[in-house]
Structure 1
Amino acid sequence: MKIKNIIYLVFAASLGVTVSSCEDFLDRPAEDNYNESNFYQNDEQCVQGVNYLYNSPWYDFQRGFIKVGEVLSGNYYMGSSPYLDFTVNGTDADLINMSYSLWAVNGHANTVYNRLKTAKASQTVINQCMGECLVWKAMAYFYLVRTFGAVPIIHDNTAELAGGSYNTKFKVQAADVYEYIIMTLEKAIELLPAKGDLGRIDQYSAKGLMAKVYLTKSGIGQAGTRNQEDLDKAALYAKDVIEHSGRSLMPNYSDVFRLVNNKNVECLISWHWYPTRDPWTAQNTLQSDLAMVGFDEFGDTWGGYGGPSVDLQDAFGVNVLESPSNRTNTDTRRKATMMMAGDVYEYFWQDKGGFDYLKFIYDKDNYGAGGPGELQSPTGVNEVKHLYGNANDHVLGLGISAANMVSGLSTHILRLSDVYLIYAEAVIGNNTSTTDASAIDAFYTVRHRAVPSATRPTSITWEQVWKERRLELACEGDRWYDFVRLSYYNPTRAISELKSQRRDVYYGLNDLYKSYYETKSYVIDPDNQRYNPDAKAPNVTESSFTLPFPTEDVVFNPNLMKDPIHVDVRSEFSY
């Protein structure tokens, strides 16, 4: 962490972020209306003071969220991206922005937390807001340790500046970082209300995250097995959320990702964006990176040349070399994740009667804002999640317009379905399968929503849960971190699966799709329509599961290149 960044974080967190909002949840103070001496004077101001932690500091993580979570994991194809072939280095702009964003979250959360200690408000609201700060801090560290491995612990930014230790910090062993995250979440659970307002972090949000942390931590320092105590804790926290939070899965999977459901009972922790350029960090810009040219009216979409990978299509049991008329679509998550030939979406372009994928591509002059005119995606499919649609869709969903690189679509980063699958995996533990009824019920709850024809199994295997996680959470920035936690205790399995993936492209799909659009005939010419026969396996090694620090950080603090130290976080730090 560079000195300019630490200073900025302390200053910015003390001032807040300027924006006005028509939605109470996103209301926050304006800089010209207050300073340190006259803010945090009542309950409303305390809530406003923490609201921006739900978006602005996370903004520069958005691209890393997809490139690390999905491209690196083999779920998403992005051309010549270094995340596709494991050649990412410390000068990569998206890696740098991701790192600084995560440290920004930590810095803002630290400073707001400390300021709330002297707030003039009810203790109930002060506790709630402090708990929210700690959950966001824990989430930032959870991403940091799973991305970079051992990292420094910045417990109090102001103290670091006063002590002058900002450029001499040592990395802390990953196991200790996990213990620090757990300690932070324990305090958050103590402070948070059992149930908060819809969309806000509450006690069960923290418990859901705690379950995921324990499941991940269980493999640290292990060889072929996982720590049973950690697995038991993961199951305990997950079960508490499942049985006592009052939350439930939304009946229709695709509804989870619609604007009108930005705040819903399934989502435990979300980034809640606001469609504004003031400040430039409060908004969601993922549609620009993921949608095809012309998907909205703002001239800000350029993501058509990427798309969900061939390997992810294989996982869903679909193949673009088979006629759409033969596609069963038994898993509703497929269409909610990737657009394929023949798909029409009623929730996109609602003012035009829905969005027709092939019509958009090939009828560029008469349909919408002007599509690409030819298939761009070399995998034959395009993204669905993280898209809001056109301007009219945004108004229908939120009552306010989107703009160029600006939307208010929430990004859900911990959902109840994840917690169900955490519970199932934790119960299986170090076994290959289980007949435990509660674990089967948890698995089946997720599976049955996606595949209504599915029958309840009498046993479930680790392999089934592993695959179910991929399908359920595909393109939600999570898959790479499943591989990271697998690598903790079984790197051979993680490497083998990554190397066996179909991460490359198809040839000749534009001719196939255009002919199908014009004639309704889907005739494959094996010499022209085929998967790249020269595709190479990625160069994955055990070191691949830890990404490099930004080069300039290492130059600024050479200690980051040294071996991590052990820290007894329980005695070293306190809240």
Structure 2
Amino acid sequence: MRQYIRIILTVFLAIQLTSCGEEFLDFVPEDQPTVDGWYNDADEIRQATAALYGRPWFEFNDVLSWCVGDLMAGDMFHNWDEEGQFFYASFNENNTHIANGWQSLYDVVSFANLIIDDMPGIAGSNGVSDADINAGLGEARFFRAAAYYYLVEYWGEVPIIESPAEKVANQDLFLPKNTLGSVYEFIRRDLVFAAENLPEADAGGRVTEWAAKGMLAKLHVTLGQRAAGGNSVGSLEDFTTAAGYAADVINNSGLVLFPDYESMFLIENEQNPEILFALRFINAGWGFGNAKQARFARNSIITGDPQAWGGGKSMSVDFINTLQANAESAEDARRRAIYMQNGDFYDYINVVNGGYTYQIIGRDENGTEIENQAPTLTNLKKHVVGNVEDHGFIVSNQDSPFDVYMLRLADVYLIYAEALMGQDGSLSSGPGYDAYLAVRSRAGLATPSDNEMSFRDLFNERRIEFGLEAMAWLDIKRQYYRDPQGTLDLLNAQSRSDQYFRIDVNDNMENDPDGYELVRAGESGTANPANQNTEPQVTFTANRMSLPIPGNEVVMNPLLRPQAEPVEYEFE
């Protein structure tokens, strides 16, 4: 069985790595050796760990990450089919995207485990140095920790898997859920090892010591918020630990905020000095690229191919209102990088035709409607990079080469502010407040008029800064740990279902926002009572704050049933 697992890994690596366009992933094994004949030097270790940056994450990134991270959080308006179940908080254990995302994250864990289990012994017998072996282990353990962070934040109590071949050999096939405390500790140990063994600097796109410390800051601030809410998991000391890790990254990594927010989301700038950790997708067919352009783009005019399924996707009115309030009447430079609204012009999209101008309704030269009105008169922009004439890549099968940013320096800045705030309700001075102001300044925003950052201000800032980066639900979870009822009230008061309707379809105002009226969920229009918004006001309860373990997994392993008690993990 162990040799069988090794062969699977070898075939996967050969397919993954020989398809890569990223420089650090380029690798063509001459004879596709088995794992036992591999790991002869540091380069072969790095060629193996390179597989962890892309393909295993595909199904998670494809749908679940944004359905939970953006849609369920209330930032996006989208109500179609099983994806729409996250908008309505009506999902159950049979949702296809929950199953696919769960499997994808455990694929990351599995591939990391195979490297962790096999590589040290083989590489050591081949004379590879301990430093190179530990650097490879650090990379694999970093990715295992990252996958488990999403597993615990999305699902809660989940099984910890180590040494899978040994478990298969012992017929130990039905693993129980482990306690929250166990999972967080497992993540912490992996990240500490990574921080101690990854290099300070590496080839573009590789995770480093600073990526591990940034993730440790996020882990500890999460535990701090749990403790602030009275949870038995975590400690208030975690705020101090988080602040220490964040300060180390900010002061010593040499990384900086990229000066132009919108340009940061162009393919040409994906390896910029703000990125600590990114999924490195490539333009090599389905399963290897970033599918979000296909999922988010409004029309094939933008993409140059039929895969443009975002015509009915908008930012929610609630998100738009938060952006405007957070800007305090100023123009937030991030807005047009997150979503398109009437009159926006993008000179780097559809360049062969002179650029792309967003209109509420788009028509061709014959007057035929080719771009429909979206629910909130906006469409999604982030992750939408255009067509081959715009960037040189033929994107035709959900394989945009644009990387997915998982951890940016701006995130560490705001984690630093959150950690230094701790249990308090606000900050008005000091390094945490300065970090918050630095993020706002990059967006063209001034110091807040009240000269302070409240708890709500901080999370509103995070909501905008990371709009459509699948982080909003993670932020909501930290708020929930600290104040469960207050967070449920916040979610239930969102204007996520409000949408716009034409007042008079016979006027000439189809591309004038004044020709539309906003109708709240379940209500009728005032300018035109015939406008009926039949969308419900979505209600969240405590049991909607975590995803159910996929039904097929529970059928195969009864220890994963909701009523099954989790167990403490036995650490070696």
| Global fold match (TM > 0.5) | yes
Q: Secondary structure at the match of 2:147?
A: helix
Tell me how far 1:362 sits from its aligned partner: 1.7
Asked if structure 1 preserves the Cα contact closer than 8 Å seen for 2:21 and 2:282, the reply is: no
Question: For the residues of structure 2 that align with 1:356 and 1:329, how far apart are their CA atoms?
Answer: 22
Counterpart of 1:108 (choices 108, 111, 115) is 111
* 1:378 equivalent in structure 2: 375
Asked if structure 1 preserves the Cα contact closer than 8 Å seen for 2:290 and 2:399, the reply is: yes
Tell me how far 1:317 sits from its aligned partner: 1.5
Tell me how far 1:26 sits from its aligned partner: 2.1
Partner AA of 2:143 in structure 1: W
Spell out the pairing of 1:167-182 with structure 2 (5 A cutoff): 167=174, 169-182=175-188
Distance 1:404 1:281, change over 3 A: closer
Question: For the residues of structure 1 that align with 2:434 and 2:183, how far apart are their CA atoms?
Answer: 33
Question: For the residues of structure 2 that align with 1:283 and 1:510, how far apart are their CA atoms?
Answer: 41
Structure 1 stretch displaced more, 551-560 or 299-308: 299-308
Partner AA of 1:93 in structure 2: T
* 1:254 equivalent in structure 2: 262
Tell me how far 1:483 sits from its aligned partner: 1.5
Question: For the residues of structure 1 that align with 2:182 and 2:564, how far apart are their CA atoms?
Answer: 14
Q: Secondary structure at the match of 2:461?
A: helix
Q: Deviations over 1:85-104 (max 9, x none)?
A: 11111111111100000000
Asked if structure 1 preserves the Cα contact closer than 8 Å seen for 2:10 and 2:32, the reply is: no
Question: For the residues of structure 2 that align with 1:441 and 1:450, how far apart are their CA atoms?
Answer: 14
Tell me how far 1:220 sits from its aligned partner: 3.2
Question: Is residue 489 of structure 1 aligned with residue 482 of structure 2?
Answer: yes
Asked if structure 2 preserves the Cα contact closer than 8 Å seen for 1:339 and 1:383, the reply is: yes
Question: Is residue 88 of structure 1 aligned with residue 100 of structure 2?
Answer: no
Structure 1 stretch displaced more, 89-98 or 375-384: 375-384
Spell out the pairing of 1:11-50 with structure 2 (5 A cutoff): 11-15=7-11, 16-18=13-15, 19-29=18-28, 33-50=32-49
Distance 1:521 1:187, change over 3 A: closer
Counterpart of 2:235 (choices 224, 227, 240) is 227
Distance 1:96 1:28, change over 3 A: farther
Q: Secondary structure at the match of 2:151?
A: helix
* 1:67 equivalent in structure 2: 67
Spell out the pairing of 1:96-495 with structure 2 (5 A cutoff): 96-117=99-120, 118-119=122-123, 120=126, 121-167=128-174, 169-220=175-226, 223=229, 227-277=235-285, 280-294=286-300, 295-317=302-324, 330-358=331-359, 361-365=361-365, 373-395=370-392, 400-454=393-447, 458-495=451-488
Q: Deviations over 1:201-222 (max 9, x none)?
A: 0000000001001111223365
Tell me how far 1:491 sits from its aligned partner: 0.8
Distance 1:514 1:184, change over 3 A: farther
Distance 1:10 1:64, change over 3 A: farther
Question: For the residues of structure 2 that align with 1:377 and 1:9, how far apart are their CA atoms?
Answer: 48
Structure 1 stretch displaced more, 525-534 or 431-440: 525-534
Q: Secondary structure at the match of 1:414?
A: strand
Asked if structure 2 preserves the Cα contact closer than 8 Å seen for 1:28 and 1:49, the reply is: no
Distance 1:529 1:244, change over 3 A: farther
Fraction of identical pairs, as percent:
30
Asked if structure 2 preserves the Cα contact closer than 8 Å seen for 1:448 and 1:455, the reply is: no
Q: Secondary structure at the match of 2:359?
A: helix
Structure 1 stretch displaced more, 297-306 or 67-76: 297-306
Asked if structure 1 preserves the Cα contact closer than 8 Å seen for 2:427 and 2:452, the reply is: yes
* 2:523 equivalent in structure 1: none
Q: Secondary structure at the match of 1:268?
A: strand
Asked if structure 1 preserves the Cα contact closer than 8 Å seen for 2:497 and 2:537, the reply is: no
Structure 1 stretch displaced more, 289-298 or 46-55: 289-298
Spell out the pairing of 1:467-546 with structure 2 (5 A cutoff): 467-509=460-502, 515-516=508-509, 522-524=514-516, 526-528=526-528, 535-546=535-546
Tell me how far 1:539 sits from its aligned partner: 2.4
Q: Deviations over 1:527-557 (max 9, x none)?
A: 2499966653322111111110110100111
Distance 1:358 1:150, change over 3 A: same
Asked if structure 1 preserves the Cα contact closer than 8 Å seen for 2:497 and 2:538, the reply is: no
Q: Deviations over 1:451-494 (max 9, x none)?
A: 24446975322121111110111111111111222222311011
Question: For the residues of structure 1 that align with 2:411 and 2:4, how far apart are their CA atoms?
Answer: 35
Structure 1 unaligned blocks of 5 or more: 320-326
Q: Secondary structure at the match of 1:382?
A: strand
Tell me how far 1:157 sits from its aligned partner: 1.6
Q: Secondary structure at the match of 1:48?
A: helix
Distance 1:152 1:500, change over 3 A: same
Aligned length in residues: 548
Question: For the residues of structure 2 that align with 1:271 and 1:91, how far apart are their CA atoms?
Answer: 27
Distance 1:513 1:77, change over 3 A: farther
Question: For the residues of structure 1 that align with 2:26 and 2:191, how far apart are their CA atoms?
Answer: 25
Asked if structure 2 preserves the Cα contact closer than 8 Å seen for 1:69 and 1:481, the reply is: yes
Q: Secondary structure at the match of 1:84?
A: helix
Structure 1 stretch displaced more, 428-437 or 267-276: 428-437
Q: Deviations over 1:397-439 (max 9, x none)?
A: xxx4322322101000111101100010111110111234101
Partner AA of 1:554 in structure 2: V
Structure 2 unaligned blocks of 5 or more: 518-525
TM-score by length of 2: 0.89
Q: Deviations over 1:161-183 (max 9, x none)?
A: 1221122x111111221111001
Q: Secondary structure at the match of 1:143?
A: helix
Distance 1:440 1:32, change over 3 A: same
* 1:322 equivalent in structure 2: none
TM-score by length of 1: 0.88
Higher relative contact order (CA 8 A, sep 6+): 1
Distance 1:531 1:289, change over 3 A: farther
Structure 1 stretch displaced more, 403-412 or 471-480: 403-412
Asked if structure 2 preserves the Cα contact closer than 8 Å seen for 1:173 and 1:567, the reply is: yes
Question: For the residues of structure 1 that align with 2:397 and 2:506, how far apart are their CA atoms?
Answer: 30
**How big is the alpha-carbon RMSD for the aligned residues of Structure 1 and Structure 2?**
2.9
Question: For the residues of structure 2 that align with 1:96 and 1:560, how far apart are their CA atoms?
Answer: 14
Distance 1:11 1:102, change over 3 A: farther
Structure 1 stretch displaced more, 350-359 or 508-517: 508-517
Q: Secondary structure at the match of 1:332?
A: coil
Asked if structure 2 preserves the Cα contact closer than 8 Å seen for 1:276 and 1:282, the reply is: yes
